[in-house]
């Protein structure tokens, strides 16, 4: 067997070139070098594994234990990336300030800076029991979205209906006791309003857009946005095409033909700001590592590194430098500082 190229060379080859098994193959927008090139020094990183009953057509695992095992594999990958110097987990105020200072230190080469990450669980199905929240907290989990798509063990999500049962209510109590952030993203309307009634801990929405612009239950209604504003939440604007412009047809529409650029994302940001009367409750929540690529995001984003272009779009709309800084990163940092300074 002939020896392959050196590891450093293999790492930079376009390994998805020519693959067609998924629509986003070859269209990837997110990787560590591009995050650094775009001066993105912190992200919300996801664990996700859905439990599905045997009659549920959604993809997933048929037992919570299998789903839990899958999330532990994801955790192992994050830890391996920490060991490799690519990532640094951020779990508290001291770690947050250290990451911000390290990232902004001009004496350290950008290529040598680990990207900070706050670990979040998207859909709580993989928590075998409420007691598993304690285990997850110990390894660094700091945010939980109780639901994802369809019916869930703790809460129903996108395209589903119905309130949480006792298991979901017990989850809320445990999260509040540990000061874990509740991610309202993906909650169905019934669960959303139930959560707002029963949960007194910190709330954000990591990646969500506006129903007033794209009418779908995955989006927030104006009433939901106002509720989140009242809870001092930050809502992350999503870059997934079908959530940005109406009438998007998956696997048929293209960003160019639909006029989908960062201006259309700014429409959602502006809508939230108008409801709030300020620019303090919206940020960037791209979801650009969420199983779609250039075929399904704004056409003026080739990679995540170009996200900084959003600042110019906002300035052109009359947003002040303070507001732009808040939307681009400051609102998330202020939120975490408030939540972790308890």
pLDDT for the residue numbered 27: 85
Residues of the chain with confidence (pLDDT) below 50: 1-13
pLDDT for the residue numbered 288: 86
The CA distance from 265 to 297, in Å, is: 10
Please indicate, yes or no, if residue 52 is contained in any of the structural domains. Answer: yes
The CA distance from 80 to 133, in Å, is: 22
pLDDT for the residue numbered 324: 98
User: How many domains would you assign to the chain?
Assistant: 1
Please state, as a whole number, how many other Cβ atoms lie within 10 Å of the Cβ of residue 304. Answer: 23
Please indicate, yes or no, if residue 19 is contained in any of the structural domains. Answer: no
pLDDT for the residue numbered 19: 83
Residue 95: its H or E element? helix 93-103
Please indicate, yes or no, if residue 216 is contained in any of the structural domains. Answer: yes
CA angle 283, 284, 285 (to 5 degrees): 115
Provide φ and ψ at 307, rounded to 5°: -60, -25
Please indicate, yes or no, if residue 12 is contained in any of the structural domains. Answer: no
- Supply the pTM of this predicted model: 0.93
pLDDT in tens, 263-300: 999 999 999 999 999 999 999 999 988 778 899 999 99
Q: Residue 61 gets which letter from DSSP?
A: B
Residue 132: its H or E element? helix 132-138
Please indicate, yes or no, if residue 7 is contained in any of the structural domains. Answer: no
Please indicate, yes or no, if residue 274 is contained in any of the structural domains. Answer: yes
Please indicate, yes or no, if residue 20 is contained in any of the structural domains. Answer: no
CB 117 within 8 A of CB 45: yes
CATH label of the domain that carries residue 120: 3.20.20.140
Domain span at residue 274?
A: 26-340
CA angle 14, 15, 21 (to 5 degrees): 120
The CA distance from 125 to 167, in Å, is: 11
């Amino acid at each position: 067997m002939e020896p392959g190229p050196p590891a450093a060379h293999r790492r930079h080859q376009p390994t998805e070139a020519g693959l067609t098994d998924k629509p986003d193959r070859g269209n990837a927008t997110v990787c560590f070098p591009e995050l650094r090139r775009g001066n993105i020094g912190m992200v919300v990183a996801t664990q996700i594994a859905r439990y599905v009953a045997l009659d549920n057509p959604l993809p997933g695992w048929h037992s919570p234990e299998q789903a839990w095992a899958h999330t532990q594999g994801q955790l192992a990958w994050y830890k391996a990336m920490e060991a490799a110097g690519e990532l640094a987990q951020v779990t508290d105020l001291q770690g947050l300030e250290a990451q911000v200072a390290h990232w902004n230190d001009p004496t350290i080469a950008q290529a040598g800076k680990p990207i900070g990450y706050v670990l979040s669980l998207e859909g709580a199905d993989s928590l075998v029991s409420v007691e598993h929240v304690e285990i997850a907290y110990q390894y660094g989990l700091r945010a939980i979205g109780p639901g994802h798509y369809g019916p869930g063990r703790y809460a129903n999500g996108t395209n589903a209906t119905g309130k949480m049962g006792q298991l979901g209510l017990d989850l809320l109590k445990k999260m509040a006791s540990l000061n874990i952030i509740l991610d309202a993203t993906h909650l169905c309307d019934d669960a959303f309003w139930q959560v707002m009634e029963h949960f007194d801990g910190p709330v954000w929405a990591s990646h969500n857009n506006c129903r007033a612009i794209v009418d779908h239950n995955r989006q927030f209604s104006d009433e939901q946005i106002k509720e989140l504003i009242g809870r001092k939440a930050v809502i992350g604007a999503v870059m997934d095409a079908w959530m940005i412009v109406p009438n998007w047809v998956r696997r048929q529409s293209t960003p160019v033909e639909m006029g989908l650029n960062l201006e259309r994302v700014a429409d959602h940001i502006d809508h939230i700001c108008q409801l709030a009367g300020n620019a303090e409750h919206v940020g960037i929540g791209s979801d650009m590592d969420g199983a779609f690529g250039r075929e399904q995001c704004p056409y003026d984003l080739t990679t995540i590194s170009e996200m900084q272009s959003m600042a110019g779009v906002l300035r052109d709309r009359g947003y002040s430098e303070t507001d732009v800084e808040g939307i681009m990163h400051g609102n998330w940092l202020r939120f975490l500082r408030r939540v972790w300074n308890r």
